Structure formats: C-alpha cells, structure tokens
Amino acid sequence: MVVIEEVNIKPQKEIIMGLIHAGVDLVLTSHNKKDVPKEIINACEVKMCGSKNRYQNLYSLTCKNMEKYVSFDDSIWNVMSVYVKSKNRDKFYRDLVNLSPPPMQLISWAIATFPENSRLQVVSSMMNRLSKDYFYAIFAYSWDGGYRKIIPPQRKVNNPYPAIAVKLGFKADETYILKRLIREEPYANFVSSKLTAAECRLIGVTKKKRPTPKIRPRKKLEDFI
C-alpha cells in the first residue's frame, strides 16, 4: 500500500494519476477537499474523517443490548435531540458539563418541547440557585429518554413602544411615560391623530375616524318653479 499525505498542498497530479491508473493500492489524505484537484477526487473514493464510529460498531458486536449513543456538538438542536432520544442520562450529563451550554437556552427549548413536564418546572425554578454542574444533573434527569418532536421556543414579538415613543417626541427608554399618558383620554385622542391605524392598534389606542363631510344635494331648475 502507498500512502500519500496532505494531497491538498501542491500535489504532483501526473504521478498520482499514474499510480491510480496503474492499479496501485493507494491511500491519499488531505486536510480539506476543496484544495485537492478535481481530477484526483473524481478517481478516488472519498471518505470523510469521523463519519463512521468504529468503536461503537465493535461494541455492538460484543454487547447484545447496547444502545447506540449519538455524540453531539454545542448546537442547541443536537443537544435537544440527544436530550429527547437518549436513555443514557449519565453520558448526557457528562456531555453537558463538558460543553457547558447556557442553562436558560436549555430550559426554554425543553419547556417548549415538554410543556406538561412538571419536573422541568422544578428545574427552572432552581436554575439561579444551584451551581451549573448540579443544574446540568437535574436537567439531564428531568426526562427519561424516548421520542418527542422537538419544538423550538417562540421568539418574543418586537416591542413597538420604543419606535412609537420616539415618533411622539420621547426617548426610546421613556416608554413608561407614554404608557402612563395614553391612559388619559385627551392624550389618547392626541396620539391617535399622530399615529397610523396600525400603530394605534399596537399600543391599544382607538383611532378615531374622520367625519365624512355632508354633501348637500344640488338643486335642480325645477325646484325653483
């Protein structure tokens, strides 16, 4: 077998292609795929590093009831996927400690997926009272593992008050003054005259309709006879 390393750095394409066409048992390695000439890639079978867990395949042959555990990175979607499906809660807890994801993000995704889970309510109430490692422990065991469709948390709607406050002559952080003033009917009427109907609906002010002018009927010549 011939092994050629780092084919992405100035490879001798003619020599490599000659070995491939000669039927030599050849192994090429590269740090990335984009820097390797396409002629070489098209003539080879490409295998990405880490795409196959050989240790897990070895264990599955020796352990009859082994559960396949999917490792994950720091993506919240991958974390929640393992949280939902895996029954190996000890391994999940150790991965949480190593990755250290934000506790608030974990709670928001878990409650959106399991709104009926009473254990999550207890975990969320203890979030700011416990150390992060202990929080990861009780969070990992708040669900036993199984199947559930992951539901992302709903994002909060943008607060319309700062932009409207600036439009009415206030500062963006003086929305509390605007909320207090629109409780009074005279100022609410003033606000409704300055804002559009959509903006009035956002802050709960009734937009008064303009009175339609009365059109006098035009008299005809017969009316004067």
- Listed ranges 1-10, 49-58, 108-117; the one with the highest mean pLDDT: 108-117
- Look at residue 55 and tell me if it is in a domain: no
Q: Are residue 104 and residue 136 in the same domain, yes or no?
A: yes
Q: 63: how many CB neighbours lie within 10 A of its CB?
A: 9
Please report, for residues 96, 128, 224, the alpha-carbon distance to residue 131 in angstroms, rounded to integers and kept in the order given. 13, 8, 95
Share of the chain above pLDDT 70, in %: 84
- Look at residue 53 and tell me if it is in a domain: no
145 sits in the region (left: phi over 0; alpha: psi -120 to 50; else beta) called left
Q: Are residue 27 and residue 83 in the same domain, yes or no?
A: no
Q: Are residue 86 and residue 124 in the same domain, yes or no?
A: yes
Q: How many domains does the chain have?
A: 3
- Average of per-residue pLDDT across 10-34: 85
Which residue is associated with the tokens 């352990």? 63
Q: Are residue 130 and residue 92 in the same domain, yes or no?
A: yes
Q: Are residue 83 and residue 132 in the same domain, yes or no?
A: yes
Q: Are residue 133 and residue 167 in the same domain, yes or no?
A: no
Q: Which of the four pLDDT bands, split at 50, 70 and 90, describes residue 142? A: very high
Say what the pLDDT of residue 157 is: 58
Q: Are residue 132 and residue 185 in the same domain, yes or no?
A: no
Q: Are residue 85 and residue 129 in the same domain, yes or no?
A: yes
Range of the domain at 195: 161-203
Q: Are 117 and 142 in contact (CB under 8 A)?
A: yes
Say what the pLDDT of residue 138 is: 92
Residues pairing with 26 in the sheet: 2
Q: Are residue 106 and residue 136 in the same domain, yes or no?
A: yes
Model confidence pLDDT, tens digit, residues 147-157: 888 888 876 65
- Look at residue 31 and tell me if it is in a domain: yes
- Look at residue 168 and tell me if it is in a domain: yes
* pTM over the 0.75 mark: no
What is the rounded (10 degree) CA torsion for 118, 123, 126, 132? 180
- Look at residue 51 and tell me if it is in a domain: no
Q: Are 105 and 76 in contact (CB under 8 A)?
A: yes
Q: Are residue 165 and residue 136 in the same domain, yes or no?
A: no
Tell me how far apart the alpha carbons of residues 107 and 116 are, in angstroms, rounded to a whole number. 13
Q: Are 194 and 204 in contact (CB under 8 A)?
A: no
The phi, psi pair for 196, rounded to 5°, reads -80, 170
Name the more confident of 159 and 84: 84
Share of the chain above pLDDT 90, in %: 5
Q: Which of the four pLDDT bands, split at 50, 70 and 90, describes residue 29? A: confident
Tell me how far apart the alpha carbons of residues 113 and 148 are, in angstroms, rounded to a whole number. 8
Q: Are residue 171 and residue 123 in the same domain, yes or no?
A: no
Q: Are residue 167 and residue 130 in the same domain, yes or no?
A: no
Q: Identify the CA nearest to 27 among candidates 55, 10, 49, 50.
A: 49
Say what the pLDDT of residue 141 is: 92
Say what the pLDDT of residue 158 is: 67
- Look at residue 36 and tell me if it is in a domain: yes
Transcribe 150-198 into DSSP letters.
Answer: --PPPPPPPPSHHHHHHHTT--TT-HHHHHHHTTSHHHHHHHHHHS-HH
Say what the pLDDT of residue 137 is: 92
- Look at residue 92 and tell me if it is in a domain: yes
Model confidence pLDDT, tens digit, residues 161-197: 788 888 888 888 888 888 888 888 888 888 888 888 8
- Average of per-residue pLDDT across 37-44: 84
Say what the pLDDT of residue 76 is: 85
- Look at residue 17 and tell me if it is in a domain: yes
